[in-house]
Structure 1
């Protein structure tokens, strides 16, 4: 089964068995254990802080921070949060996993090599299994757009067929990144071939500022691409000439997965990041005329509150 909205319907999918790994947190610098576990039909994706005994649904309305990553949390519990979830969310979406419990023993998901490829590897090792219950998908019915004060923007609009397409442009003038753009019909196969191994990146001039703010404490050339003006600092260079925009599109896939269902539609954006991606999902779900929920081969309009309840069920 394709992880994206290629065909309506089909059985829900979970991990066939649990699997774990250890790695450093990009922002905390802590050594963390992550476990990907099967979950019952209809549970959706959720994150459990095993050190706190708190479970947090992976939904757009639980996003509490979008500074350099996407973090989810519980209202009124500032310590109950999990950051840097976007890469594992993208991998789960690409693998077509509808129901999973992600356990972590600290404040963020390990960064591993800075891409989604290690999570794809873990999911492949665990395997996937169909289970009782129909998969739901969200079909976009009209354009929804958000933008910020800098002119950056993101938009979801309808497609003629039941698929997911994405187009993104980024611009970092005066650096090795420059202006890059990528358009892709996103499927399980294209995600793995074109996006999964693209790593997160930063500018060398920002590293000291980030660490002074308590961020990027676990960052290194082993888990991020560092750009110093016209130079790529990493000894091995880039995995592809446009690795930067590929990674940003990977982030889009992970952030949009917080809608709770695969999205059938077209994403377009310019300089969009985690904050705009989250605003876009919230705007989409807030408008009851913007989407309809596809269950099997039947289409039904679903208002946002009902949709959010369905993802939590």
Structure 2
């Protein structure tokens, strides 16, 4: 199994969630062993996808360099990770990735259009060897050894529509597209009003998020899945964990996980080389582990 990139450049234009302005997003192929690199075209700054380049995790995952940032990267990264793409240049002309419909479905369509191609270099994956956990109060995220890639997520909200939800994902590109990609980000009306008072979420609307008041979903079309909320949390987690910089094999589990906890988990994982090993997809064992990315 070889490393992959996209066959041709593709682009789209969408609205930025926080500023509400149009953002042009362009994806370009990159040579083998380059990884994922973000580029702020408007200021000429490149930002490699690395945990140490994360500068904020409060409302979204934000990377930065030399004082310039790119926000809300997790939905796009979630799709890129699901497609097993190793090398890619991501170009934006503003400080955030367009939100599209609040899910990663549009990015999956863009990657389908771009198509993936193999490169002349072996694919590498990270195998989780030891359990790694980040816990804050009753909230936690953790990675565990496994020869498969699975995500387990539980959320609990004091809201009649959400309450407690749990979802298990046996990861593959196809299960991701069918069960996760269409799940939209969500928020509460009082939070949206507060954010707008601070000059944030100016591009947010019922077109790109599930919004709830105290009792119900405000979107006239309703939910795409009865448990769309926890499915979106898995979508976010997949994007956040891509900051490791390499596809991994193991099990991810979370209760009330967040961008911040996910970021801390990637740092804790990489802090000790005994937590993992990086293997080339050459041996029969490694090929079996990598079936999720085939």
- TMscore range, shorter length: over 0.9
Moved over 4 A (4+): none
**Number of aligned residues:** 284
Quick one: distance in 1 between partners of 2:199 and 2:244?
A: 29
- Look up the match of 2:291: none
Query: 2:172 corresponds to which residue?
Result: 187
Q: How does 1:78-93 map to 2 (within 5 A)?
A: 78=67, 80-93=68-81
Structure 1 residue runs without a partner (length 5+): 1-9, 300-313
> How much does 1:298 deviate?
6.0
Q: What are the ranges of 5 or more consecutive residues in structure 2 without an aligned counterpart?
A: 285-294
- 1:277 is the counterpart of 2:277: no
Aligned to 2:16: 25
Is residue 38 of structure 2 the alignment partner of residue 47 of structure 1?
A: yes
> Where does residue 120 of structure 2 map in the other structure?
132
Following TM superposition, by how much is the alpha carbon of 1:27 offset from its aligned partner in structure 2, in angstroms? 1.1
Give the whole-Å Cα distance in 2 for the aligned partners of 1:212 and 1:186: 39
Which residue does the alignment assign to 1:156?
143
Matched, 1:66 2:57: yes
Q: Aligned partners of 2:115, 2:6: CA distance in 1, in Å?
A: 6
Distance in 2, Cα, partners of 1:52 & 1:180: 42
Q: Distance in 1 between matches of 2:159 and 2:252?
A: 27
**TM-fit CA distance, 1:213:** 2.6
Structure-to-structure mapping, 1:283-302, within 5 angstroms = 283-297=268-282
| TM-score of the aligned structures, taking structure 1 as reference length | 0.89
- For each residue in 1:224-252, what CA deviation from the matched residue of structure 2 results, as whole angstroms up to 9, or x when unmatched? 00011220000000001000000000000
- Distance in 2 (CA, whole Å) between partners of 1:142 and 1:102 is 32
Partner of residue 211, structure 1: 196
Q: Do the aligned residues in 2 keep the contact of 1:140 with 1:157 (CA within 8 Å)?
A: yes
User: Quick check: 1:175–1:228 contact (8 Å CA) kept in 2?
Assistant: no
Q: Note the alpha carbon deviations across 1:105-141, whole angstroms, 9 max, x for none.
A: 0000000000000000000011111111111111000
* Cα-Cα RMSD: 1.2
1:170 is matched with which residue?
Answer: 155
Q: CA shift at 1:14, angstroms?
A: 0.4
Q: CA deviation at 1:209?
A: 1.1
More displaced 10-residue stretch of structure 1: 172-181 or 267-276: 172-181
The TM-score with structure 2 as length reference comes to 0.94
